[in-house]
Amino acid sequence: MKFLKINIPGPTGRASRAGQTIEIPYLVFKNPKGDQRCVISGGVHGDEVNGIALVQRLIEYIRKNNLEEHLRGEIVVLPIVNLSGFEKHTRQIAYDKKDLNRCFNQRGKTASNIIANALEKNFYSKADIAIDCHDSGQRTILIPHTRVHRFGKKRCNDCTRKMAQAFGSKIIVERKGNRGMLAVEMMKKYELPVLTVEIGGALKVADDFLKQGLEGVINVLKYTRMLPGNPKFPPKQYYLRNRFGIPAKEAGLIKFKKHLGQRVHNGDRIGELYIPSKAKTIDLISPMCGILFSMQHVDSVGKDEIMYSILEDKKCHVRRRTTQKFEELTQLKSIKME
């Protein structure tokens, strides 16, 4: 185990570590047979335990299978990026209460900006590809999927899309992205494709989902020819630009009858919501056909909070008006990333 030591000089707020040094652990797996470099990280958000658990499983898999002997190039693994947030079960960096994944390539002398700049300088600026592992945070659980971002015509839009396909999850989500995001800023600055992996949530390790996640990471390494072998692909993959979130009209206690990942139809009963302010229970009815993409893990929801979301099925026999669509993807062949 090695450590990236980062000095936090000057005042950075009440919870700062001004004038102190923090350490971010990392491991290097290297074989001189190749020259590609991949950075794989977990725990950028402190309350996203499945990203951390996925990286843990990858480290164990590499060691158990002596993967370093077959590796073509170098993998740098960051087991936990935001240790301060992890210790306090919070998304943000504890020292300045900022979201680290909004601080890359940004000006400022706060702890989060300094950490982001140090990660960029020491790891991402030298990488050819990167995989950043997340989950949905403290309340919601997501089915395994990858996320890519839209960029201008001069950017390598297809790079992360091809990595996402190679990961092999059934669903790929496209996002516009926000300023300061790791994936957005590293593409802008270095044309570095950063694949964002999302699995589970609610501070609960999702073992079944993580098996898919580990296979997905290995698939990407095979696809980029950092590992020998051919990646495995599901029969179909779907590329989604928008998903539909269904909010609670009133605060209440929620009880689901359907489970995450289950296919539902327009009119199906998803569950029920008890509204204590009215001593009334209402049925939760699906407004469309599709797959339950995310669900609240806790039993209580606030007014206007998203209870669940659905990935709509355009081939369903029950129609619903919408202008939002997703497209089925074709299979990829294993190629070397340029």
Looking up residue 309, the CATH number of its domain turns out to be 2.40.50.100
Domain tally, the chain: 2
Tell me the two tokens of residue 304.
């206007």
Based on the domain organization, do 23 and 168 belong to the same domain?
Answer: yes
CA torsion 108-109-110-116 (nearest 10°) is 70
| pLDDT attached to residue 238 | 81
pLDDT in tens, 77-113: 999 999 999 999 999 999 999 999 999 999 888 999 9
| pLDDT attached to residue 319 | 57
Mapped onto helix, strand or coil, the DSSP state of residue 154 is coil
* Under 8 Å between Cβ of 294 and 173: no
124 located within any domain: yes
pLDDT in tens, 43-74: 999 999 999 999 999 999 999 999 999 999 99
Based on the domain organization, do 277 and 200 belong to the same domain?
Answer: no
Based on the domain organization, do 210 and 271 belong to the same domain?
Answer: no
Calpha distance 308→116 (Å, rounded): 32
C-alpha 266 chain-centroid distance? 29
| pLDDT attached to residue 312 | 80
Based on the domain organization, do 252 and 230 belong to the same domain?
Answer: no
pTM (predicted TM-score): 0.89
- Name the pLDDT band for 135 (thresholds 50, 70, 90): very high
At residue 197, what are phi and psi to the nearest 5 degrees?
-105, 130
pLDDT in tens, 294-311: 999 999 999 999 999 998
Based on the domain organization, do 52 and 153 belong to the same domain?
Answer: yes
Is the pLDDT at 15 greater than 50, yes or no? no
Strands 140-149 and 171-175, how do they pair?
parallel
Residues with Cβ < 8 Å from 223, sequence gap 6 or more? Answer: 162, 163, 166, 231, 332, 334, 335
Across residues 141-156, what is the average pLDDT?
Answer: 81
Based on the domain organization, do 312 and 163 belong to the same domain?
Answer: no
Strand ranges (DSSP E) for the chain? 2-8, 20-31, 37-42, 73-78, 129-134, 140-149, 171-175, 194-201, 238-240, 244-247, 252-256, 263-264, 269-275, 280-285, 290-296, 300-301, 306-312, 326-328
Residues of the chain with pLDDT > 70, as a percent, come to 88
Looking up residue 144, the CATH number of its domain turns out to be 3.40.630.10
Calpha distance 143→207 (Å, rounded): 12
Segment among 126-135, 225-234, 290-299, 316-325 with least mean pLDDT? 316-325
Domain containing residue 104 = 2-238
Calpha distance 166→156 (Å, rounded): 16
Calpha distance 244→338 (Å, rounded): 35
- Name the pLDDT band for 313 (thresholds 50, 70, 90): confident
Is the pLDDT at 334 greater than 60, yes or no? no
pLDDT in tens, 174-191: 888 899 999 999 999 999
Residues of the chain with pLDDT > 90, as a percent, come to 70
pLDDT in tens, 21-49: 999 999 999 999 999 999 999 999 999 99
Based on the domain organization, do 132 and 275 belong to the same domain?
Answer: no
Based on the domain organization, do 137 and 204 belong to the same domain?
Answer: yes
Last residue of a domain, one of 205, 238, 271: 238
| pLDDT attached to residue 243 | 78
209 located within any domain: yes
Calpha distance 326→312 (Å, rounded): 8
| pLDDT attached to residue 182 | 97
